[in-house]
């Protein structure tokens, strides 16, 4: 049976055009970008062209874009720098952040005795902005607000401008984990009140192991990784040359095809929601599924019984790839911290379906049909 892949929020397949753009730098164009001879200059030019391309798409300045190994490194860099370099003594986050953020802020809280506050999450899965303003207003010291743009498990979208405006009002630093939205939505960073955002190539048909960190030009921080002078003394280590080229190419393709692909994927998500509602009783959808939500993610809870408890395992046996939460907690049967925060019902089994431009309605029909025997 052909495999059906409905876990695109975890990672996406590499676009053939991206691989084609990367191939020269995997083969004959192998020079170290820090070398002064022609092979090195050729590699350096490729990186700087990629940086210019990414900056143009995000409407940022090339000097504000830094290449990293991915979203986790980017978020760790910023959260650490905000405490160490920007005078933040209070972190405001949420209990539904990705673990790259959640574990970082908890580490700093426990080891550096930084005050940590979690903003309330509404039953819809959205951040309570009134509670956020109260936390900011009551803080006696400068705050770092770190809230993700789109939740990777339930898909809820944050209003970046509303949060950014609050941070400006209270002189707070604002970092947003935008790993699920860079490559999926247009950005205008020159006109968005945010100090830092992050991105990861493998979320939009680019390569794994490469990401970006946007640092607003008005903010000055020190390196997180020390060593050589790569990335303008901000991120030491020989650059992931072919990964960077691939990231830029994937972002160019995603941007060029945004209108068509996003409409197609949103239609697919809506179709699956309708088919599930038509064929199953007692299920519920997690997050603001019909409102401010990622067009790629559909999170549904099935009533718990002997069959549904093994739903992920049985779908896998039938060559259907889905998840119960973040891929970063796979292998650890502790359930989803996101679902626990908004819908802590022990009698339900959550499943995340996430889609890409390569999925079809025929695949949706096949999965729904298979679920009938598993639920």
Catalytic residues: 328
Give me the helices (H) in 28-180, please.
38-58, 71-84, 99-112, 129-138, 160-169
Tell which residue, 283, 341, 277, 335, has the closest CA to residue 124: 341
Q: Nearest-CA neighbor of 301 among 321, 320, 281, 315?
A: 281
Which secondary structure element, helix H or strand E, spans residue 270, and what is its range? helix 258-279
Smallest CA-to-CA distance from 216 within 167, 253, 258 is with 167
CA-wise closest residue to 347 among 309, 375, 311, 314: 309
Q: How far is CA 118 from CA 128, 136, 170, 315, in A?
A: 11, 11, 17, 35
What residues form DSSP beta bridges with 179? none
Q: What is the dihedral of CA 369, 373, 374, 375, to 10 degrees?
A: 90
C-alpha to C-alpha distance for 239 and 242, rounded to whole angstroms: 9
The residues pairing with 105 across neighbouring beta strands, listed in sequence order, are none
């Amino acid at each position: 049976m052909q495999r059906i892949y409905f876990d695109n929020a975890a990672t996406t397949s590499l676009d053939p055009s991206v691989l084609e753009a990367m191939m020269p730098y995997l083969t004959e164009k192998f020079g170290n970008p820090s070398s002064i001879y022609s092979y090195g200059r050729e590699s350096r030019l490729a990186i700087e062209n990629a940086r210019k391309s990414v900056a143009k798409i995000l409407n940022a300045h090339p000097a504000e874009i830094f290449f990293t190994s991915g979203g986790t490194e980017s978020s760790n860099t910023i959260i650490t720098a905000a405490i160490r370099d920007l005078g933040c003594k209070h972190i405001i986050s949420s209990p539904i952040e990705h673990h790259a953020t959640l574990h970082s802020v908890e580490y700093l809280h426990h080891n550096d005795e930084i005050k940590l506050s979690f903003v309330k999450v509404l039953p819809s899965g959205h951040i309570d902005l009134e509670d956020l303003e109260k936390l900011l207003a009551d803080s006696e010291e400068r705050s770092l607000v770190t809230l993700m743009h789109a939740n990777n498990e339930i898909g809820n979208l944050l209003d970046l401008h509303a949060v950014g405006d609050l941070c400006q009002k209270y002189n707070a630093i604002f970092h947003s984990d935008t790993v699920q939205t860079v490559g999926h939505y247009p950005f205008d960073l020159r006109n968005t009140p945010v100090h830092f955002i992050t991105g990861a190539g493998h979320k939009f048909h680019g390569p794994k192991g490469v990401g970006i960190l946007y640092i607003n030009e008005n903010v000055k921080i020190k390196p997180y990784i020390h060593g050589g002078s790569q990335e303008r003394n901000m991120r030491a280590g020989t650059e992931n040359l072919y990964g960077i080229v691939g990231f830029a190419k994937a972002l160019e393709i995603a941007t060029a095809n945004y209108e068509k692909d996003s409409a197609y994927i949103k239609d697919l998500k809506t179709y699956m929601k309708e088919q599930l509602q038509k064929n199953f009783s007692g299920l519920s959808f997690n997050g603001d599924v019909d409102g401010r939500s990622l067009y790629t993610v559909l999170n549904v809870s099935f009533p718990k019984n002997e069959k549904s408890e093994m739903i992920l395992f049985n779908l896998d046996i039938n060559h259907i790839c889905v998840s119960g939460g973040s891929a970063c907690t796979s292998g650890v049967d502790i359930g989803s911290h996101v679902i626990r925060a908004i819908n802590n019902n022990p009698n339900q089994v959550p499943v995340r379906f996430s889609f890409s431009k390569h999925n079809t309605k025929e695949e949706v029909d096949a999965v729904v049909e298979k679920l009938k025997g598993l639920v």
